[in-house]
Amino acid sequence: MSTISDKEFSKLFDTVKQREIADNGFTRNVMAKIPKQDRKTHPIVVWAFGLIGVLIAYFSGAIFSCLASLACFGFQLSHAHMPTHTTLIVYLLVLGSILTMSANVIKKSWS
């Protein structure tokens, strides 16, 4: 029958327990053996779903609402005096965020 307690076992295994093993090129070897062509279809899938989204927006009329809002904004801008600093900053921030997000998605889909 066992006479060694749980604590004693833990102490015994301390010699090999959670010992950090140096990489020594292991990660590089794994990455070299990973199939490269496996996920080439993914950018196509991403772009296909993007296209589906645009088509849904087109047929549901959402894209026209969006364009109308932009046109309205442009109209107001052309008939207005210089917009206030707050309006301009908010507009630029929104525009900047949209462009950054789009750039990230495009970058990641091609990486």
Partner 1 sequence: MISKSDDLLLVSQVVLFGSHKAFEQLVQKYQSPLRRFFLNLTYGNESLSDDLAQETFIKIYLHLQSFNGTAGFSTWLFRVAYNVYYDYIRSSKSTRETDYEEVDKHSSYERPNVDCAMDVYESMKVLKLDERTAITLFYMEDHSVEKISKIMNCPTGTVKSHLSRGREKLANYFKGTGYEYNFG
Residue 51 is a binding residue for partner 1 (CB under 8 A): no
Residue 14 C-beta: closest distance to partner 1, Å: 9
Q: What is the DSSP string of 55-67?
A: HHHHHHTHHHHHH
DSSP 84: P
49 Cβ contact partners less than 8 Å away, ≥ 6 residues apart: none
Residue 89 is a binding residue for partner 1 (CB under 8 A): no
Closest to 51 measured CA to CA, from 74, 31, 59: 59
Alpha-carbon span 79 to 82, nearest angstrom: 9
Closer of 1 and 82 to partner 1 (Cβ): 1
Residue 2 is a binding residue for partner 1 (CB under 8 A): yes
Closer of 19 and 79 to partner 1 (Cβ): 19
List residues near partner 1 by CB under 8 A. 1-4, 6, 8-13, 15-23, 26-27, 29-31, 33-35, 38-40, 42, 46, 108-109, 111
